[in-house]
Amino acid sequence: MKSLSLLAVLLLATASSSGQELVVRNARLMGTGAADGPKVDLRVVDGKIAAVGESVGPVSPRTPVVDAKGRFVTPAFVLAHTWEGMDRANEVMDVTPFVSVTDAIDPTSSFFDNMLRDGVYTIHVAPGDRTAIGGLGAVVRPTALVVEEMTIVPEASVKISMIPPQGNRAAHMAKIRAALEDARRHMESKERATDTKPTGNFAADLEALQLDRRKAPLVRLLKREIPAFVSCAVAGDVTRALDLEKEFGIDVRLALGPDTWRAASVVASTKKVAVVGPRFWSEEEDPETGAVVRRFLPKVLSDAGATFAVVSVQTSLGERYLWYQAATLIRHGIAKDAAWASVTSRAAEVLGLGASKGSLDVGKDADLLVWTDDPMSGRAWVDVGVSEGRVVYERVKDRRLADLLGIQEGGR
């Protein structure tokens, strides 16, 4: 019995190391790190982009080939921050760093079904904005039906919200500070009480400290092992979030609502990618004249020199698609490259996955989409979706989409 399972393990190991290949032919690249141009081939080995160019070497007859037929090929989208895909976005208490979205993600929800269809293959699910310290977020792919198999980064973030669900902002800030100070005291007392010297192995060191499990996430935050994603509704929230960063030495990634536009230069000064959306417009009424001034946050940020990723939301008109969000940026004066980056490479960067996700450069994960039309045209659908070198979505086999659109089998 033992030898049999050993054999199975060996077989699995050979299968994964033998260089599983996929070739995409005749791609018209768009919004990639590589030079845009027609008729390019891509070779994928072991889930990574191995070669991009006019010739990617000989292809064995056993290698699966996706013929893009000169159609647009883009990197798959990266959704930098969402509270969707869970049963509930928030715990009812104010400070719950010990909960994790891993325990709340519903792989069968229509959200993940849509993400698969819409070509969003890297999704950062984090607790919602109604909790001061909401818990742990995770980065997942929509390509499996079990959370563990979906998971790319299990503990990707600690969610903090600067938006008080009740009471004023001073009290809210005090709550967050108290929780972080408490975690710091806990960490320091454990460190004093432990004889073992730090080994450099983070997990082992934390294990050696024998931390209170309920406080471990905040300790890891304080040790900068994981970043904080901090939701900000107004400009003051941004400066307060950066105060926390300074006071506690944590790594803050800003998630900005439209009314934070006054802090654009502060955001730029962080030199980090911020998360923006799904709403972009700030609207302010002059109390004296009644005149309404509307500001488009991405443009304000871009003019101030800040970089950002934008996010979508399923529940809103239009705003459910990342390509629509990117098109909205272009429509309001953001350069096309920057707009595309905000839903691909910038979004990967904000998650710390810039080296593996968000573009079609050689060496990165083969997460790519073959489109039926220009992705910006509004009428394009993902035709073939590839996640980590595996074909995970084919429109012709999407019975549900066909039903919804009233398409006969095999037709457009």
Partner 1 sequence: MKSFVRLLSIVLALAPLSADARAQGEADLLVRVKRLYVGDGTFKDDVAIVIRNGKFESVGPLKEGVAAKETFDAEGLYATPGFVEGSSFVGLPRGADENEEGSETTPELDVRAGLDLSDPEFARLLDVGVTTVVVVPGYRNVFGGLSAAFKPKPKGPPRLLRAGVASQAVAHRAPTAGNSPPGRGFFRGGGPDLFNRRPNTRMGVVHELRRGLQEGRGVASTEGWRRLYPKATGDALARAVKGETPFVFSASTATDVLAALRIADEFGVSKFYVQDAGEAHLVAAKLAERKVGVLIGPIDARFRAESEEERSGVMTAPKILDAAGATYGISRGTSDDASSLRAFLTYAVRGGLTPEKAAAAVTGRPAAITGLSDATGVVAPGLDADLLLFDGDPTSPSSTLAVVVSDGAVVRRSEARK
List contacts with partner 1 (CB under 8 A): 280-281, 290-292, 294, 299, 314-321, 324, 326-328, 330-333, 336, 339, 374, 376-379, 404-406
**Closest C-alpha among 6, 20, 18, 33 to residue 346:** 33
Burial of 401 (0-12, 13-18, 19+ CB in 10 A): middle
Q: How far is the CB of 329 from partner 1 (least distance, A)?
A: 9
Q: What DSSP element (H or E) covers 392?
A: strand 390-394
Q: In the complex with partner 1, which residue's Cβ is closer, 375 or 389?
A: 375
Cβ-contact 68, 110 below 8 angstroms: no
Q: In the complex with partner 1, which residue's Cβ is closer, 59 or 330?
A: 330
Q: How far is the CB of 63 from partner 1 (least distance, A)?
A: 34
Q: In the complex with partner 1, which residue's Cβ is closer, 142 or 298?
A: 298
- Structural tokens at position 220: 């890891």
Would you say how long the chain is, in residues? 412
Burial of 289 (0-12, 13-18, 19+ CB in 10 A): exposed
Cβ-contact 46, 73 below 8 angstroms: no
CB within 8 A of 338, min separation 6: which ones?
302, 329
Q: In the complex with partner 1, which residue's Cβ is closer, 251 or 374?
A: 374
Q: How far is the CB of 322 from partner 1 (least distance, A)?
A: 12
Q: How far is the CB of 392 from partner 1 (least distance, A)?
A: 21
Q: How far is the CB of 305 from partner 1 (least distance, A)?
A: 19
Cβ-contact 124, 103 below 8 angstroms: no
Q: In the complex with partner 1, which residue's Cβ is closer, 195 or 288?
A: 288
Cβ-contact 77, 395 below 8 angstroms: no
Q: In the complex with partner 1, which residue's Cβ is closer, 39 or 331?
A: 331
Rounded-to-5 percentages of helix, strand, coil across the chain:
35, 25, 40
Q: Indicate the DSSP class of residue 289.
A: T
Q: How far is the CB of 116 from partner 1 (least distance, A)?
A: 15
Q: How far is the CB of 254 from partner 1 (least distance, A)?
A: 23
Q: In the complex with partner 1, which residue's Cβ is closer, 46 or 374?
A: 374
